[in-house]
A = this chain, B = another copy of it.
């Protein structure tokens, strides 16, 4: 069991790890190349700033990706800890430098808690930052079972979910899910400075969401992107190819030549369609997800107020307001269909019948739902 750790680098992530470990009774030794950062973390309750008298169980190197290798070599030479891990967002580069530079590569395992905030520094730290989040662990061929076990224990202590994977798979995955999204947010946000005066008074939540992560520290992000340049470049090149096609399509749609418009429109709608399809992978609970393949059908008069009454009753009984379709059931009648998880269908039907609705579950819906594809709102304008 981990009793003592050292955290090197008391920024957002290092201090959050230290706070989480301290709360679980672990003794934490803090250091930072900026002594004020370490003192601030200590004053927050993250640990103590004096060095450990004997080697700690695990040292957490919370420094930028390009620094992990050098700090690892330096601290192993000093004998700071029995085992070492890091928290950098890139894993191939630290592993490679560990294997080539570190006195003892077997005591090191790469780590990456997948959590963050736009703010940096110890004052932004939170003990709860990692709760329920994946924490990637990327053992090298030389990593010892003890090093992997201790890093995994730290991740669990912090409330995270350890995910063991290879450093190269990790870097490819985060290029797609974190690094390229950051660049696209920055590309969009960069346009806001030079835009027409007053344009941003029309800024809504959509724009704020698209650009939110662009607020991250440019120095740290430059380091991350540089360290993962090959994987990032691969995804960015694909985005660039799509964008080049889009520029050509928009030029056609802006111009006077009606002949090419249909093709240009297809290019643009194809991109929008692929975007909708891509979202399915990161919205498992969304419409059409595997959780909802049973249906409950309710007959309702199309009088004002009937539909809100039915919908609120159904939501109270556990139905998802986003998985509802309405169909014509003859003059004055509508048929409302709820897509629900199979385990919910009986309960929803019973609850609605108890409230006086003409509700019934539908049979053999598994096959039907899968054949038809996602259940979507049928009513569109």
Check A278 against B192 for contact (C-beta < 8 Å): yes
Give bound CA distance, A362 to B202, whole Å.
36
Bound complex: CA of A32 vs CA of B379, how far in Å?
11
A172-B190 contact given A9-B381, A282-B203, CB 8 Å threshold: no
- The A178-225 residues at the B interface (CB cut-off 8 A) are 178, 180-196, 198-204, 206-219, 221-222, 225
Q: State whether A246 touches B236 (Cβ < 8 A).
A: yes
A222 CB contacts on chain B under 8 angstroms: 265, 268-269, 272
Q: Is A73 an interface residue (CB 8 A)?
A: no
B188 adjacent to A239 (CB under 8 Å): yes
Distance of A319 from chain B, by nearest CB (Å): 12
Report which of B120, B200, B209 forms a contact with A210, defined as CB distance below 8 A. Answer: B209
Q: Given that A233-B254, A303-B43 are known contacts, is A189 also in contact with B119, CB under 8 Å in the complex?
A: no
Chain B residues positioned under 8 Å from A170 (CB to CB) = 202
Instruction: Determine which of B48, B190, B213, B251 lies in contact with A209 in the assembled complex, contact meaning CB atoms within 8 Å.
Output: B213
Any B CB within 8 A of the CB of A100:
no
Task: Verify A186–B11 contact, CB threshold 8 A.
Answer: no
Please report the C-alpha to C-alpha distance between residue A34 and residue B282 in the assembled complex, in whole angstroms: 32
A residues 31-66 touching B (CB-CB < 8 Å): 32-37, 39-40, 42-46, 48, 62-63
Within 8 A of B (CB), among A87-134: 114-116, 119-124, 133-134
Question: Please, how many angstroms separate the alpha-carbon atoms of A10 and B202 in the complex?
Answer: 24
Beta-carbon contacts under 8 Å, A250-292 to B = 250-251, 253-254, 265, 268-269, 271-279, 281-283, 286
Instruction: Say yes or no: is A77 at the interface (Cβ < 8 Å to chain B).
Output: no
Question: What is the CA–CA distance of A213 and B100 in the complex, to the nearest angstrom?
Answer: 45
Residue of B nearest to A325 (CB): B123
How far, in angstroms, from A150 to B58 measured CA to CA in the complex? Answer: 69
* B193 in contact with A277 (CB, 8 Å): yes
A165 to chain B, nearest CB (A): 8
User: Is the beta-carbon distance between B207 and A209 smaller than 8 angstroms?
Assistant: no
Q: A189-B279, A210-B181, A265-B226 are in contact. Are A250 and B271 (CB under 8 A)?
A: no
Which of A9, A46, A209, A238 gathers the greatest number of chain B CB atoms within 10 Å? A209
Task: Write the nearest CB–CB distance from A84 to chain B, whole angstroms.
Answer: 18
A189 pairs with B307, CB closer than 8 A: no
Q: Does A235 contact B (CB under 8 A)?
A: yes
Which B residues touch A134, using CB under 8 A? 201-202
Q: Is A70 an interface residue (CB 8 A)?
A: no
